[in-house]
Structure 1
């Protein structure tokens, strides 16, 4: 069961009016206080092709309820539940399963693309590592007035941003951002667009890298931020352990 309410940034401007780099940094700082979100993911991933997902998440403790296409997936108390009927049960259960942590810790047993195993709140901060962030203009995103910024991100840029962090909290956020870019496996430059709402929060971001059929082009839109969200495990009597059918059954 999931729930969410409350719009994020539906009124007001979009960005604090400072320099592009300052606004992006402020949006990253604001992300540290996010406790829950409802978000939408659309685009293409090199390893999966076209992806569409709608999700509710919590940060403490990390929990997720996602509909990826027609496939429901939940993470609760480091257990993953996948809504696929087998042996008279409505859900698979696999554990330990981690969502929303560092790349090396995340594990969805191949059910989710690696990009969707991580918290979009952390992913939205990557533009702080750009040396060429610039203002694109003002736009309306999901009914919210936003300011649109764009820049390019590289591992070297994120490492430099990490080393230049003015305090421990900022450094930790930038370390997490560096981890996210490394987890993407992007070998060249990542282009990132960020839309900032009137509350100085990320309303939407887009990543682009590569060309042709192997291109990464992913957009994440925050529909609600810090609204009430509940993620519950399915009834125990309606779940089957993944070991009963093997990982092929989970992915097939």
Structure 2
């Protein structure tokens, strides 16, 4: 496989992990990062009302199980050159599926001559990425790269690696409902005020979570780590310069999130994602590519390793 194709694959994987897996924070004045210390009775009531609104949104979003989604993710220059990735398509949860088209400067960074767009499908714990016609010509017409994360984890034979990769897959399967659940765990949750989003009246909310609070509220991680492993995970995350997470959500009059802004501040800069949701309950008919059009990432690695061993002998 051409090196450019691998770079494009890396960008797609990074984008996928961030878009559907992370609850993050924004730079700026960070209103959500200021703790509401010494709240008066009226302020406390406002927070209670915000909790009630988001609980209602969580219930309806969970029941909807799918929506159309339009996302923009900006990566800092310190992270593989940075750039922007735009995605649009459909996302489903319970079960977790996704079918989106990606484009943007970060996608083209691996190869200026590569495709301007790339399609990504997630289904049954497996990710498929369309590597383009040029790649298909080099792979007997197979243009879809298949990555089975559970199979990759099992292949390592390392229980700790398996646990981390499985946890990462669970995070990637997060959805608007889970993001709302995490926001509800924020002690600094507050109502910002009414705003229009895509021409629709909404109410704007925001809140902050520390690394520890995020792990406590992220149910996808339950049972994956012992107390000692959790403490080590927190320490490792903090070594990267990560201090905490913020989430912002705009809830429409039907109690659905119309927009979410998440991001993550690291030593390399701030990674930020903005998602617009619509058509909740729209059927997410996500299908895997035909087997004859796919090549398995893990099998390809084995073949390359074998060729390398043969050359060495």
Scaled to the shorter chain, the TM-score interval is 0.5 to 0.7
2:281 to 226, 237, 240: 226
Equivalences for residues 106-121 of structure 1 within 5 A: 117-121=172-176
Deviation at 1:177, TM superposition (A): 8.7
SS of the residue 1:207 aligns to: strand
Query: Which aligned pairs between 1:10-49 and structure 2 lie closer than 5 A?
Result: 19-45=49-75, 47=79, 49=82
Question: Which residue of 215, 239, 244 corresponds with 2:294?
Answer: 239
| Cα drift, residue 96 of structure 1 | 4.8
Mark the CA change 1:68 to 1:128 in structure 2 (over 3 Å): closer, same or farther: same
Structure 1 residues 34 and 176, CA gap change in structure 2 (3 angstroms): farther
User: What are structure 1's unaligned runs of at least 5 residues?
Assistant: 1-17, 109-113, 163-173
Q: Distance in 1 between matches of 2:295 and 2:271?
A: 34
Deviation at 1:93, TM superposition (A): 2.4
Q: Which of these residues, 95, 119, 125, is aligned with residue 78 of structure 1?
A: 125
Displacement of 1:97 after TM fit?
5.5
1:157, distance to aligned residue in structure 2 (A):
4.3
CA contact (8 A) 1:125 1:177 kept: no
- 1:203 pairs with 2:263: no
Q: How many angstroms does 1:150 deviate by?
A: 1.8
User: Which structure shows the higher strand fraction?
Assistant: 1
Larger radius of gyration: 2
CA distance in 1, matches of 2:94, 2:294: 25
For residues 1-150 of structure 1, the aligned pairs below 5 Å read 19-45=49-75, 47=79, 49=82, 50-69=84-103, 70-84=117-131, 85-86=135-136, 87=139, 88-96=141-149, 104-105=165-166, 117-121=172-176, 122-150=178-206
1:64-95 CA-to-partner distances (Å, cap 9, x unmatched) read 21222212111233332211133122222233
TM-score, normalised via structure 2 length: 0.55
Distance in 2 (CA, whole Å) between partners of 1:234 and 1:94 is 13
**Equivalenced residues, count:** 208
Contact 1:28/1:128, CA 8 A, preserved across alignment: no
Q: Which runs of 5+ in 2 are unaligned?
A: 1-47, 104-116, 152-162, 225-232, 305-313
Cα separation, partners in 2 of 1:118 and 1:35, compared to 1, 3 Å: same
* Secondary structure at the counterpart of residue 105 of structure 1: helix
Deviations for 1:103-148, whole angstroms, at most 9, x for unmatched residues?
Answer: 752667xxxxx97x23232224321122222222212222322111
In structure 2, the CA distance between the partners of 1:133 and 1:74, relative to structure 1 (3 Å rule), is same
Counterpart CA distance in 1 for 2:147 and 2:271 is 28
**Any idea what SS the aligned residue of 2:192 has?**
strand
Any idea what the Cα deviations from partners look like across 1:164-194, whole Å, max 9, x if unmatched?
xxxxxxxxxx624999xx89x5731322211
Alpha-carbon deviation of 1:230?
0.6
- Paired with 1:242 and 1:140, the residues of 2 have a C-alpha distance of 44
Output the TM-score relative to the length of structure 1. Answer: 0.67
The equivalent residue for 1:175 is 219
